[in-house]
Amino acid sequence: METLNLTFILNRQHVSISVPHNRRLVDLLRDDLHLTGTKEGCGIGECGACTVLLNGHPVNSCLILAGQVQGSEITTIEGVEFENGDLHPIQETFLNEGAVQCGFCTPGMILSGLALLRENPHPTDDEIKEAIAGNLCRCTGYQQIVDAIKSAAARL
Amino acid sequence: MNQKSNHRVIGERIPRLDAREKVLGRAIYTTDLFLPGMLYGKVLRSPHPHARVVRIDTSLAEALEGVKAVLTFKNTTGNKFNASASHVQTIPPYQTEKDQRIFTDVVRYIGDEVAAVAAVNEDTAATALDLIKVKYDILPPVYDPLEAENSESPDIHPHCRQKNIVGNPIEMKSGDADSALDGSDYILEEHYRLPVQKQCQLETQVAVASFNSDGKLTVWSPTQAPHPCRRILAEIFNLPLNKVRVLNPPYVGGAFGVRIGLSGKAEPIAAALAMAAGQPVKIAYNRREDFIASDTRHGGYITVKLGLDQEGNFQVLELKSILNGGAYCSWSADVNGAIGARALTVYKIPHVSFTGYSVYTNTTPAGACRGFGAVQPTFALEMTVNKAADLLKMDPLKLRLRNIIRPGDNWIAPFPCRSSGLKECLEYGAMCIGWEERKYLKEQNQKSDRYKKGLGVAIGNHVSSCAPFQTDYTGAILSVLSDGSVQLACGLVEMGTGTKTTLAQIAAESLGVSPRLIDVKLGDTEGTPYDVGCQASRSCYTAGAAVLKVARDVRKQIIDYVACKTGYLADEIRIDDSLIFRGTEQILTLTEIVRDADYHNRQFSAVGIYESTNALSWQAHFALVTLDNWTGRVTVDKLVAAHDIGKAVNPSIVEGQIEGGAVMGLGYALGEEIRYSQDGCQLNNNFQSYILPTAADVGPIKTILVEPGEPSGPYGARGVGENAVAPVAPAVAGAVINATGVHFNVLPLTPERVLKGLRPQSGTRSND
């Protein structure tokens, strides 16, 4: 198996790495870079647990091949907090408003929420639901997650 | 409806203690674990629903570079087990059915484990699987429980006492149902078919096992029940219990009943591979494997006979359930006990009877799923009550209020009904949804050919522990450390339901410290007392009671020590926010006193074992739906979930449990179903074909908490985790009756099914 030499920006830092051609982005993050915050729930792009931001857009990293991220900017859940260690407002609202139960969908939800707020700072409930419709949650029933994203919007 | 309390933290919406790690993406789950020298395991699964393994050749797989172990039934233990924590049933007393082996030589469903490999990476493991040659002798399969009962059907297990029936049929009765039916003014008999639902927890089944040279097996997994999981593994591998450690790492990506005991078979397969290879092994199921090879909810058939008098008083209730147990027992011998218990304890009925059993079929085994044994009978019973309301031309809410059980009534449960806020749930819920509008809907619906609105209601209950149906005991260890921080250990887990935070709040309240000072150790057999696991909605009610016991013990130790040191009376001394008070005067800090104790060779610490009792929590759900007459689509415009949970230790956590459970109920009502092809293949084995509710599918859910207090619960709390699932489908289907006049006896109410119901074959439209 041939390897690819990749360079990209990950969570504001330059990364240079060689991986097999067929490496999925989710495996590059979790296994090669040991960033296990990004989860795998289905492997077919249906559950959103593997959501990361690729050049600002939320994508299912289980459907992205490593080669596709050459020269791009990636944000994972590990890159959401501020550099001084403070929580991002969306992390604070998730924490304070009961939006976290088992936590497996949480990284993907936060990233989808973050991407939405960057594009639409004052979303309606329906717009929030649409933005996270690709992130399955089995624990919360979504109510507290929608409320947390709305609260984060108010704070940003 | 919420009582004013003088508690410091009970009833407070404190942020969860595990939330910070989770929002940072630093929470570790079993799938995140990486150990030095770790190998990757993969499982070879049967492609046939029923067959004998005639020959299995693993030589090519073994020869592949990077493969460190290949296992089949030929080189692993033949010890039989039941993968679920079902161990003994106590009423009536009998042992569970142990009908599984790690690897079988008779495959009984598509997905059954035939072999496994451990290799240096996943690709090599996958290649090795392809190199294993298996010769099968095909046996005839059967998929439906009613068919499987026929004498001509194939025998799925040799040990059955009655044709393909799992364990023993369960019977319950009180009074004389047969004669009472004859004396009823109205008799309804309805037949229901319930679908197979899947837990769909986001973290698939997985385990990492390590076997050291000391003969100690360590297994990390997302099990909901580490102590029972340990017991099962110890029995499989003939190891003493204290040579097996099972732990969560520490977090679990959801469970919903799919791993009360083993997590599929991930633990024993990983353990067997680790023992064979001499290196740690990780086995992670992919989503397809999780669908086909870990327990589902029981689908099946329920018949309800309800007899009532002209005024609408229920006289007799007979329920019969025949469930599809799938290929292996798991919880199938227990579930019918729950079905009977749920159905017979909601209404005050002088004559009741229940018979139920599960039947083996060549499909994925059915086991525990949130709302265990509740979801099926609640739909059947509540829809029958709706039919009775129709018959009597009575408001379905009024009919329920007339017949619900009250504390002190005779009932069939083997523990007393000490409190019930079901009446308040119905009244507040009705007000909240606007139930009085129901009588105007028929007229409003005539204005639109396309959209019809309806209102429905459904009620039910659920247990707060396994007692006395199964052994249920737990314990806690609490220590105040020499700097005033606190360590608490319990044997159950944090799987998202908020156990960690809730137990900390209970300990904090009783001890007089902030919950933030309490480190809660869960999910590890090492260093925690035995606990039967997070199941039966028991975590707060039972472990909370154990925690309360030890916290009170430790508080008394501290107060007695202070009394001894100061000469003040113990009655005058209290602890609040880590400060010691005599009356209103602060005299010491907790840190000062524990340091003093430490200096004098004392530690404040207690172990408490708690034998559980039980209590039912109650719920009433109301649904406002819009039915699209052109497409058959049912939209739930608003769901009101009114719950009597005794006391909400943390209302945020309780509401989260209710909302999450309700959305699972919504899925059950409107779209979730696993069906099988003629060849025994699951047709819905991924998230593309198995339709889970997304955020865009869920309308507003209003939660109402009713808190009458439960005398037997810690600070008055009872269970809540499972309660919200069951009432949704009958509330929604009841609303559909209101909108269209059509009664559905089958779920889910997909658009196709609804359209067929609205427009029967004759082509005429049914009208109300």
Interface touch B496/A103, C-beta < 8 Å: yes
Categorize the per-residue pLDDT at B93 as very low, low, confident or very high, splitting at 50, 70 and 90: confident
**Mean of the per-residue pLDDT values for chain B?**
96
Q: What is the DSSP string of B141-179?
A: ----HHHHTSTTSPPS-TT-SSTTEEEEEEEEEES-HHH
Tens of pLDDT, residues B623-656: 999 999 999 999 999 999 999 999 999 999 999 9
Categorize the per-residue pLDDT at B1 as very low, low, confident or very high, splitting at 50, 70 and 90: very low
Q: Which residues contact B696 (CB under 8 A, 6 or more apart)?
A: A129, A130, A133
**B767 pLDDT exceeds 60?**
no
ipTM of the complex as predicted: 0.98
Residue A89 contacts B where some CB pair is shorter than 8 Å: no
How many Cβ atoms sit within 10 Å of the Cβ of residue B306? 25
Closest-approach residue (CA) in chain A for B27:
A37
Interface touch A101/B656, C-beta < 8 Å: yes
**B596 pLDDT exceeds 70?**
yes
**B766 pLDDT exceeds 60?**
no
Mean pLDDT of A48-76: 98
Looking at residue B768, its pLDDT comes to 24
Looking at residue B410, its pLDDT comes to 87
Interface touch B203/A34, C-beta < 8 Å: no
Q: What percent of chain B has pLDDT over 70?
A: 98
Mean pLDDT of B195-222: 97
The CA distance from A24 to the nearest CA of chain B, in Å, is: 13
Tens of pLDDT, residues A7-43: 999 999 999 999 999 999 999 999 999 999 999 999 9
Categorize the per-residue pLDDT at B2 as very low, low, confident or very high, splitting at 50, 70 and 90: very low
Question: Residue A82 corresponds to which amino acid?
Answer: F
What would you report as the CA-atom Rg of chain B, rounded to the nearest whole angstrom?
27
Residue contacts between A and B (CB atoms, under 8 Å): 171
Query: Residue B595: CA atoms inside 13 Å, Cβ hemisphere, count?
Result: 6
| Structural tokens at position A10 | 């990950």
In chain B, residues with a C-beta closer than 8 Å to the C-beta of A103 are: 18-19, 21-23, 27, 251, 253, 496
List the beta strands (DSSP E) in B212-269.
217-220, 244-247
Beta bridge partners of A59: A52
Interface touch A95/B19, C-beta < 8 Å: yes
Mean pLDDT of B703-722: 97
**B727 pLDDT exceeds 50?**
yes
The CA-based angle B378-B382-B388, given to 5 degrees, is 155
Interface touch A49/B202, C-beta < 8 Å: yes
What is the spatial order of strands in the sheet that B206-211 belongs to? Answer: B67-72, B113-119, B39-45, B281-284, B206-211, B217-220, B244-247
Among B169, B170, B187, which Cα is nearest to B178's? B187
Tens of pLDDT, residues B140-183: 999 999 999 999 999 999 989 999 999 989 999 999 998 898 88
In chain A, residues with a C-beta closer than 8 Å to the C-beta of B688 are: 44, 46
Looking at residue B4, its pLDDT comes to 53
Closest-approach residue (CA) in chain A for B688:
A46
Looking at residue B765, its pLDDT comes to 40
**B764 pLDDT exceeds 70?**
no
Q: What percent of chain B has pLDDT over 90?
A: 93
